[in-house]
Amino acid sequence: MAILGIRDIAALANVSPATVSRVFSTPEMVSKKTLNKVQKIIDEVGYRPNRMGASLRTRKSGNIVAIIPDITNPVNAGIIRAIEQGAQSAGYSVLLGDTQGLEEREQHYAGLVSHGQADGLLLFCSRIPFKTDPNLPLMEQLPPMVNGNERIDSDEVIQVAVDNVAAAKAAINYLISLGHKRIAAITGPGNIASSNERLEGYQLALNEAGIELDSALQLEGEYLVQSGMDCARQLLLLPQRPTAIFCFSDDMAIGVMKFLQKQGFVVPDDISVMGFDDINYAKFVTPSLTTVHQPLHEIGSTCIELLLKQLQGQKVEPGRRYLPFELKVRDSTGKAPE
Amino acid sequence: MAILGIRDIAALANVSPATVSRVFSTPEMVSKKTLNKVQKIIDEVGYRPNRMGASLRTRKSGNIVAIIPDITNPVNAGIIRAIEQGAQSAGYSVLLGDTQGLEEREQHYAGLVSHGQADGLLLFCSRIPFKTDPNLPLMEQLPPMVNGNERIDSDEVIQVAVDNVAAAKAAINYLISLGHKRIAAITGPGNIASSNERLEGYQLALNEAGIELDSALQLEGEYLVQSGMDCARQLLLLPQRPTAIFCFSDDMAIGVMKFLQKQGFVVPDDISVMGFDDINYAKFVTPSLTTVHQPLHEIGSTCIELLLKQLQGQKVEPGRRYLPFELKVRDSTGKAPE
DNA sequence: TAGTAAATTGAAATCGATTTACATGTTAGT
DNA sequence: ACTAACATGTAAATCGATTTCAATTTACTA
């Protein structure tokens, strides 16, 4: 563990600390001769500049913070992986802010930016974790930030996601095309934007097809497997059962299928089940799950790209960027029973 | 965005910067009167000390870095979540180092500690990412560090994991108790310690039961679903097929089951399948997966706890800590066919 | 070869906090 | 009333780099 500082290197190379610093940041300003001389010493002793010292002076930490509700959710994990890659190859490190959905923690991690511990923010929830003055333009009050996947209700924020309304609509249209008329929806938590958007798409599609909405067919879940099972139980108790169940997450769809199978129902012959996300396991459950594919890697890489742009001082237009979703038809959906 | 520094606060409160600093670090050294006065100003303007400035002086970044091969692996995600919680409640932030198994990236992230960007290291791979001098005691050359889940071959390192040998042995013993004699093993990558340990347990159990090892029944996978499918294909081509397949990860077991089912085999009637990890989805695939449970949360929390102890200057005994595994018998295993 | 422009280099200030060493003010004891 | 002991507060050094501005060297022109 060499504890040599820039002054030590400078002394060893018989130059000033300023020159050593320039060797790293602006080598073209240093003559070849001294460059070589200094470089040689640096390599010899394995010197790397201390980040804290540099950060203090440059006011750049080299970190970004990603605020996500739950890293064990495969959707988030897939996004984070892409973010990490993009950040790393641009020389940034990612601080992981797993919030468990708690506003308090969102604010804690957002605070890292204010404290100078991070330079920018990737936000995968529906709240802006800063106190803002509604009289001033939002953009001027926020640090470099990109909102991914979830939606914040403001077009002054840079957002990246699939078009949840259109995606849900496409899913329902597909089920309708199979002859389904009683289509249940298991939503996510009511305060989550992505869930509300998918609900909108669901209702829109049914309306356009002239199918009346039935509130008994709309159940609120929590995006988790267990709540899929719970909601499936409720749906089976209905006097008029649905012939298809559209779940706003794959996890819930997996729970629904498990419960239906336990009760002796055959998916999709008795009831069709459709998910949303296309997590890796969707292909491998039995029957394999029909679902809406979200381009996780692309969502992550677009988010980090837009954030890096801002950090490099480029202007990024606010507003939503839609990434393409894709219907993945597999074996959990089929023709409606007569 | 208030950009007030400690000097501004000091001026506003009519005290010196040192006093303001003490309000945060050693409030008991400040008289009640001034404490209140300063605290009031701090609350009013919402001042928080800049971390970079503090870190430079104290030589503590308040960050730890977690080096993991792949965050999209549910095993790692579960561990990381626990780590994040432990770190956060101790005032630390977690830098995510997803390495994709690349040594180069492991070293990059380990470097953050040397550069002062992180104070300690959580390592979930089998290599020490530092150049070390074999003549000197290892412990003195390493930063505060805990090795989790995987194994580094040195008892000078602090390690936390389940006893993979015993766990695999227990799994095989269970299969043997069901009457299986031709038990295949699908391992992880050959350079991964956990896989080798599980292989050892597998062989040990068979030996003790007087069952001869058959190298045709040992296939090397990559811990991924796809490699489970690939290996299953190979196993089915064997002149003498196994009656049970023990996979060293749940992902591979899921792949195996999927492939067997595609080929018309019934699990477990024709072939039993067993996994390792007990990821969340193990319960929900069909049939539900018999597997070895790893206490992910406890692994993560133990790792972070041991690291925090070190960071607080407490001495932590090197060596392995075993956490208890648990056999989860579900529906993918059954009596050996006659 | 002198004179000037351009390319290098260095000294010192700076980033924002912490902390040491010292100064001041207060209280208590004799 | 005087001094010792203690509580509290301050000035200034410090952490390790970057960067401004000035000084110096080099390169080139006339």
Which tens digit of pLDDT belongs to each residue from B63-94? 999 999 999 999 999 999 999 999 999 999 99
Q: Tell me if B145 is assigned to some domain.
A: yes
Total domains, chain A:
2
pLDDT at B109: 97
Domain shared by A69 and A144, yes or no: yes
Q: Tell me if B269 is assigned to some domain.
A: yes
Nucleic acid strand D within 7 Å of B20 CB: no
A49, A96, A284: residue with CB nearest B255? A284
- Cβ contacts of B98 on chain A, cutoff 8 Å: 80-81, 84-85
Inter-chain touch B53–A56, beta carbons under 8 Å: yes
pLDDT at A338: 79
Report d(CA B76, CA B99) in Å as an integer.
Answer: 12
Q: Give the CATH number, domain containing residue A119.
A: 3.40.50.2300
Straight-line distance from CA A66 to C1' C4, in Å? 55
Q: Tell me if A267 is assigned to some domain.
A: yes
Domain shared by B155 and B168, yes or no: no
**Helix residue spans in A148-284 (DSSP H):** 164-177, 193-208, 225-237, 250-262
Report d(CA B105, CA B99) in Å as an integer.
Answer: 5
In this predicted structure, the answer to whether residue B1 has a pLDDT above a threshold of 50 is no
pLDDT at A64: 97
Edge-to-edge strand ranges of the sheet holding B272-274: B218-220, B183-187, B244-247, B272-274
Report d(CA B241, CA B233) in Å as an integer.
Answer: 11
Instruction: Look up tokens 């594919």; give the residue.
Output: A293
The first and second tokens of residue A279, run together, are: 């997590």
Give, as one character, the DSSP assignment of residue A290: B
Q: What is the largest CA-CA distance in chain B?
A: 89
Report d(CA A13, CA A4) in Å as an integer.
Answer: 13
Domain shared by B302 and B253, yes or no: no
Query: Phi/psi at B321 (nearest 5 deg)?
Result: -115, 125
Q: Judge whether B268 and B333 are in contact, CB under 8 Å.
A: yes
For residue B201, the enclosing domain spans: 164-293
Nucleic acid strand C within 7 Å of A33 CB: yes
Q: Tell me if B305 is assigned to some domain.
A: yes
Report d(CA A302, CA A148) in Å as an integer.
Answer: 9
Domain shared by A133 and A73, yes or no: yes
Nucleotide nearest A3 (Cα, C1'): D16
Kindly report, residue by residue over B139-182, the tens digit of the pLDDT: 888 999 999 999 888 889 999 999 999 999 999 999 999 999 99
Nucleic acid strand C within 7 Å of B7 CB: yes
Instruction: Look up tokens 């992910």; give the residue.
Output: B296
Strand C bases contacted by the protein (CB, 7 Å): 7-12, 14-21
Domain shared by A177 and A262, yes or no: yes
The first and second tokens of residue A263, run together, are: 């009760």
Q: Which of residues 4-23 of B touch A (CB under 8 A)?
A: none
Domain shared by B106 and B90, yes or no: yes
pTM for the model: 0.94
Report d(CA B13, CA B34) in Å as an integer.
Answer: 9
Domain shared by B113 and B155, yes or no: yes
Beta strands, E only, chain A: 63-68, 93-98, 120-123, 145-148, 158-162, 183-187, 218-220, 244-247, 272-274, 291-293, 319-323, 326-328
Q: Tell me if B287 is assigned to some domain.
A: yes
Q: What is the pLDDT along chain A (338 residues), one digit of tens a residue?
A: 447 899 999 999 999 999 999 999 999 999 999 999 999 999 999 999 999 999 999 999 999 999 999 999 999 999 999 999 999 999 999 999 999 999 999 999 999 999 999 999 999 998 999 888 888 888 888 999 999 999 888 889 999 999 999 999 999 999 999 999 999 999 999 989 999 999 999 999 999 999 999 999 999 999 999 999 999 999 999 999 999 999 999 999 999 999 999 999 999 999 999 999 999 999 999 999 999 999 999 999 999 999 999 999 999 999 999 999 999 999 999 999 97
Kindly report, residue by residue over A224-247, the tens digit of the pLDDT: 999 999 999 999 999 999 999 999
Domain shared by A269 and A308, yes or no: no
Distances (CA, A) of A330 to A185, A290, A296, B130: 19, 4, 19, 47
Query: Is the pLDDT higher at A327 or at B9?
Result: A327
Nucleotide nearest A16 (Cα, C1'): C10
Domain shared by B131 and B208, yes or no: no
Amino acid at B190: G
Q: Mean per-residue pLDDT for B24-42?
A: 86
Q: Tell me if A300 is assigned to some domain.
A: yes
Q: Tell me if B17 is assigned to some domain.
A: no
B48, B72, B116: residue with CB nearest A51? B116
How many other CB atoms sit within 10 Å of the CB of residue B44?
Answer: 11
Q: Which of residues 193-232 of B touch A (CB under 8 A)?
A: 225
The first and second tokens of residue A158, run together, are: 């840079």
pLDDT band at B3 (very low <50, low <70, confident <90, very high): confident
In this predicted structure, the answer to whether residue B298 has a pLDDT above a threshold of 50 is yes
Q: What is the C-alpha R_g of chain A? A: 26
